[in-house]
Amino acid sequence: MKQTQGTELTESAIGLDRDGRIDLQLRIEALGNELGRVDGNLGQRTRQAIGVWQGRNGLPPTTYLTREQLAFLVIQTDPMMDAVRAKNAADQARTAPPKKQVVQKTRTLKPVAQQKPRRKQTQVVQRRRDSETVVREDAPPPRDNNDFLTKALIFGTGIAVGGALKN
């Protein structure tokens, strides 16, 4: 293990995914190194901490790990990892922004009063020979045939027409 120096190639051969890199950062931090934010990105602070760990353990401080060095780090830190992971989860929960409550709006429909449909007034356009245009509006028919005025008008017209026909 002490003979093989870590390089970018040896570390990429390990094939750490994001969760593996987070675990590596937590293990380095468990040994007393302050990394700041544990996010799965192996930045400058993480590299420096790996180099410090390598130097303390008699390894060449290349800041890149080999598979054997990672196995040694895992053995060193396994007894304390449950507590470290619990602390990290609590820190993540404390620093996470609060979730917004989603309020779903509901709409209540108002009852619609039943109304008789209105008739549209139509416009009748008549053209006369001398190019005058006359516009008149047709009145809607009477609503109720039992209307007194309507009956009186019809009755009165009938009497007038009937009288004219007699003469």
74 pLDDT band (50/70/90 cuts)?
Answer: very high
pLDDT-derived band at 38, boundaries 50, 70, 90: confident
Is the pLDDT at 5 greater than 60? The verdict is: yes
142 vs 28, which has greater pLDDT?
28
Share the mean pLDDT of the chain: 76
What's residue 75's pLDDT?
92
Please state, in angstroms and as integers, the Cα–Cα distance from residue 77 to each residue in 21, 40, 81, 83, 131, following that order.
15, 18, 6, 11, 105
Give the pLDDT of residue 26. 92
Write down the pLDDT at residue 91: 83
Q: 91-147: per-residue pLDDT in tens?
A: 888 877 777 777 777 777 766 666 565 555 555 555 555 555 555 555 655 555 566
The pTM score is 0.54
* CA separation for the pair 8, 16 (Å, rounded): 12
Q: Which residues, including other chains, have CB under 8 Å from residue 144's CB and lie 6 or more apart? A: 150
Choosing among 2.40.50, 1.10.101, 1.10.357, 1.25.40, the CATH entry for 8-95 is 1.10.101
Question: What's the confidence (pLDDT) of residue 88?
Answer: 85
The pLDDT value recorded for residue 167 is 55
Establish how many alpha carbons lie within 13 A of residue 60's alpha carbon, considering only the half-sphere containing its beta carbon. 11
> What are the domain boundaries of the chain?
8-95
CA distance 53 to 32: 10
